[in-house]
A and B are shown apart, each in its own frame.
Chain A
Amino acid sequence: MTQTPPSAPKDDSNRPEATASPINKPENSPEERENKNLSRRVKDVEISVPIVYGTIAFWLGRKATESQSHRWTVYVRGGTNEDLSVVVKRVVFQLHPSFNNPIRVVDSPPFELSECGWGEFEIAISLYFHSDAGDRKLDVFHHLKLYPLEQNGPQSTKKPVVMETYDEVVFPDPSEQFLARVQNHPAVVVPRLPAGLELPSSASTEERRGSMKDHPLGHWFMNFSEADELLKLAAARQQVQAHIVKLRRQMSMVEGSSGTADPASAF
């Protein structure tokens, strides 16, 4: 994506905790302590934010016109519908150039956008993060799906076409300030922090305004189960490992009998 949002609003991440009191870390040298909190990064810690992006498209049925046959919503939500605004500052959706103002900026949760149309196209979604999380943006691409796949039956006005993708936004070695701010937020996965690490205290009195838990389209959201995936992988690994063991055994047999007996006859 080449476009940047037309009007960059003032950085709203300068919340009270951004000017948090200096912390005392005995292992740090004085000059390092003088560095801004922002630039100090916590090594070997990885913050990840599960996100799901996708579209839900309803066929308009009898109300459908030639140019507006579907009403669809594109969104970025938390892995389990938590409020993403703690990490995500702004989401920019880039629609097909045939739409009016194809670049849509959403500055507050829920990060979603509804439109009417007739055609499928690729939506570029840019995620912008709060400044303590780094000023880089991430681009993801989602293909808007309006027409159901054949195996899912004919079009109906009742059942929408849902396409979602699960991914995780990863912040390796985050800044201390960012870590402290999001540490206890449900939208964020923070690993067990190294012992002895003290973080600036954060006022975790965020109102949960951006949660999508009671979203009107909520019951169409897909479930992404990590456990299922892990189970499947474990089963596959077991099979492959068993096969490796078998091959190793055969190998040693071939090596042992090489030149004396037919290895095939050993079976």
Chain B
Amino acid sequence: MDAKDILGLPKNALPLSQEKKSKPPKEPQRKPDGISREVYMLTGGVPPLMPAIDTSQLKRRPPTDEKVTWQWLSFSNSARKDDLKLYHWVRVVNGVPPTGDYPFAKYNKSVDVIKYTDEEYENYLTNPKWSKEETDTLFELCERFDLRFVLIADRFPSSRTVEELKDRYYCVTRAILIARAPSPADVSAHQLIKEPYNVKQETERKRALSMVLSQTKYQERKDVEVLAEAKRIHESRILAKSAEEPEVPSTSDVGTENADRTVLPGSVSPVSGAATAVADNATTLASLRMMRVYLRTYALDQMVQAVSASAGLRTIKRVEQTLQDLGVNLKPKVPTKSVCGEHLELRKEILTLLNLQKQLQYKEAEGSSYREGSYNTDTPETPKRSHRAGEQDRPFVPEPSSFGGDRIGKRDQKRKGPGRSSDAPSSPATKRARKLKADG
């Protein structure tokens, strides 16, 4: 039964009963010889995984008149140029040792590197970038290393890249092939002529590959963000376009209006490093205006997205956390125009606040590392990372004052309770922040 468990078969599998029903007369034959009854019972009649060949059958051989012996004999390897004699065990049938070449000699492949004469070089192969001596050396090395260009480049006397070497080799070979052929059609099917070596593409490919491989995690994340953003912009443009289309007569109006809007946003309160967000804002507004009718909450969602477009997911989370701490609904309960406006402004201000916090932490880390010693001034973030990370995780905690509901009060108490594991390592920064909070 164990075997069945392992194979995941049902315990009283159908095949078993079927087998029993269909082949009752063969019952005595079901247990093959050579397997003990107990072992066979363990498998429950399921065909065993291992080939269970009757051992008696193994011993039985087709009747032969061959007399096989194994002998320790010497052999020669045609792939070797020296006449070294080595020994190995060989199967000898009826006292006749096997004839013929050593079976592994055929794997000693070598490349047929084209040889050119001086005359051919003069006629077809001259190249201002390559001297004849260099080309000769290249072909020698190609022969010696069987076109392993990495090795060739390593051994090559003057400094040439792998791509240059390959290019020269394949160009020469092609030129010779074409020159020696009676007509171009004869060699047009040749691999080297059909698919010429493309240096530019090869260099570009390697460059791109090394770029991808040398990318840091951070850059990758940034790339993903940028792509997501691009997709969003693209979608919003499509939306704007489709909204624009039904109003063919007023298209020109819309266009100028759009331009006006993008110039205007200077009036929007500046969020540091969020110029794109501001521009986005304008496009969102424009695309909203092109709709004939929409819900206020939909517009707010769009605007919130536009405002936080420049921020990372983490920052957006922190904004929302801050809103909750302030006792403000993430989505206003009464989304009138002015409420939505205020809500947006609040979000922008929180973004500014978080940005400031980050900058301040950075400045502090920079300053302290400067004082600590000159050895780490050029990489201030590495030694400081741990305590900066701790600081970053601490969300902006508003004072439980004026309007605060009891929810906030509770939350704050929890924060102040003993055993706050998150703040346990009391770095100078967190200490200072706590002090700030106290006197705030």
Residues of A within 8 A of B (CB): 35, 39, 41, 43, 46, 48, 50, 129, 133-136, 138, 140, 166-173, 224-226, 228-237, 239-241, 243-244, 246-248, 250-251, 254-255, 257-259, 262-264, 267
Q: Cβ of B346: which chain A residues have Cβ within 8 Å of it?
A: 233, 236-237, 240
Nearest residue (CB) in A for B345 is A237
| CB contact under 8 A between A226 and B336, given known A168-B295, A254-B360 | yes
Contact code string B324-366 (vs A, CB < 8 Å = 1, else 0): 0011100011111111001101100110110011011001101
| CB contact under 8 A between A172 and B364, given known A233-B346, A236-B328 | no
Contact of B293 among A134, A246, A264 (CB under 8 A): A134
Confirm or deny: B98 has a beta carbon within 8 angstroms of a beta carbon on chain A.
no
Confirm or deny: B398 has a beta carbon within 8 angstroms of a beta carbon on chain A.
yes
Nearest residue (CB) in B for A52 is B334
Q: How far is the CA of A133 from the CA of B294 in the complex (A)?
A: 12
A166 contacts B353, C-beta separation under 8 Å: no
A247 contacts B357, C-beta separation under 8 Å: yes
B336 contacts A138, C-beta separation under 8 Å: no
A171 contacts B338, C-beta separation under 8 Å: no
Q: Cβ of B289: which chain A residues have Cβ within 8 Å of it?
A: 172-173
Confirm or deny: B305 has a beta carbon within 8 angstroms of a beta carbon on chain A.
no
A262 contacts B339, C-beta separation under 8 Å: no
Residues of B within 8 A of A (CB): 249-250, 253, 257, 288-289, 291-297, 299, 322-323, 326-328, 332-339, 342-343, 345-346, 349-350, 352-353, 356-357, 359-360, 363-364, 366-368, 370-371, 396, 398-399, 401-403, 428-429, 431-432, 435-436, 440
A168 contacts B336, C-beta separation under 8 Å: yes
A170 contacts B294, C-beta separation under 8 Å: yes
Nearest residue (CB) in A for B403 is A235
Closest chain A CB from B371 CB (angstroms): 7
| CB contact under 8 A between A230 and B349, given known A248-B356, A258-B363 | no
Contact of A233 among B328, B337, B352 (CB under 8 A): B328
Closest chain B CB from A169 CB (angstroms): 6
Contact of B349 among A35, A48, A232, A244 (CB under 8 A): A244
| CB contact under 8 A between A39 and B249, given known A233-B339, A250-B360, A258-B370 | yes
Q: How far is the CA of A237 from the CA of B399 in the complex (A)?
A: 13
SS class, residues of chain B in contact with chain A: helix
B349 contacts A237, C-beta separation under 8 Å: yes
Q: How far is the CA of A25 from the CA of B399 in the complex (A)?
A: 57
Closest chain A CB from B338 CB (angstroms): 6
21 contacts between A and B (CB under 8 A): A39-B249, A43-B253, A50-B336, A135-B292, A138-B293, A166-B334, A168-B335, A172-B288, A172-B291, A172-B294, A229-B333, A233-B343, A233-B346, A236-B323, A236-B398, A236-B403, A244-B352, A250-B360, A251-B359, A258-B370, A264-B431
Contact of B363 among A48, A231, A248, A255 (CB under 8 A): A255
Q: How far is the CA of A228 from the CA of B339 in the complex (A)?
A: 10
Q: Cβ of B291: which chain A residues have Cβ within 8 Å of it?
A: 136, 172
Nearest residue (CB) in B for A228 is B334
Nearest residue (CB) in B for A40 is B250
Q: Cβ of B363: which chain A residues have Cβ within 8 Å of it?
A: 251, 254-255, 258
| CB contact under 8 A between A254 and B364, given known A140-B295, A237-B345 | yes
Q: Cβ of B333: which chain A residues have Cβ within 8 Å of it?
A: 166, 224, 229
Q: Cβ of A241: which chain B residues have Cβ within 8 Å of it?
A: 349
Q: How far is the CA of A255 from the CA of B366 in the complex (A)?
A: 10
Q: How far is the CA of A174 from the CA of B351 in the complex (A)?
A: 34
A229 contacts B353, C-beta separation under 8 Å: no
Q: Cβ of B360: which chain A residues have Cβ within 8 Å of it?
A: 247, 250-251, 254
Closest chain B CB from A151 CB (angstroms): 13
Q: How far is the CA of A251 from the CA of B296 in the complex (A)?
A: 38
Q: Cβ of B257: which chain A residues have Cβ within 8 Å of it?
A: 43
Closest chain A CB from B93 CB (angstroms): 81
Q: Cβ of A136: which chain B residues have Cβ within 8 Å of it?
A: 291-293
Q: Cβ of B322: which chain A residues have Cβ within 8 Å of it?
A: 240
Q: Cβ of A225: which chain B residues have Cβ within 8 Å of it?
A: 334
Closest chain A CB from B217 CB (angstroms): 29
B328 contacts A138, C-beta separation under 8 Å: no
Q: Cβ of A240: which chain B residues have Cβ within 8 Å of it?
A: 322, 326, 346, 349-350, 353, 398
Ranked 4 nearest A-B pairs via Cβ: A134-B292, A168-B296, A233-B342, A236-B326
Q: How far is the CA of A168 from the CA of B364 in the complex (A)?
A: 47
Nearest residue (CB) in B for A257 is B367
Contact of A267 among B328, B338, B368, B436 (CB under 8 A): B436
Q: Cβ of B366: which chain A residues have Cβ within 8 Å of it?
A: 258
Closest chain A CB from B90 CB (angstroms): 80
B339 contacts A229, C-beta separation under 8 Å: yes
Q: How far is the CA of A204 from the CA of B399 in the complex (A)?
A: 52
B292 contacts A264, C-beta separation under 8 Å: no
B356 contacts A251, C-beta separation under 8 Å: yes
Q: Cβ of B403: which chain A residues have Cβ within 8 Å of it?
A: 231-232, 235-236
Q: Cβ of A244: which chain B residues have Cβ within 8 Å of it?
A: 349, 352-353, 356
Q: Cβ of B299: which chain A residues have Cβ within 8 Å of it?
A: 170
Q: Cβ of A250: which chain B residues have Cβ within 8 Å of it?
A: 360
B293 contacts A170, C-beta separation under 8 Å: yes
Contact of A224 among B297, B334, B431 (CB under 8 A): B334
Closest chain B CB from A173 CB (angstroms): 6
A133 contacts B327, C-beta separation under 8 Å: no
Contact of B292 among A35, A168, A171, A239 (CB under 8 A): A171
B432 contacts A264, C-beta separation under 8 Å: yes
B367 contacts A259, C-beta separation under 8 Å: yes
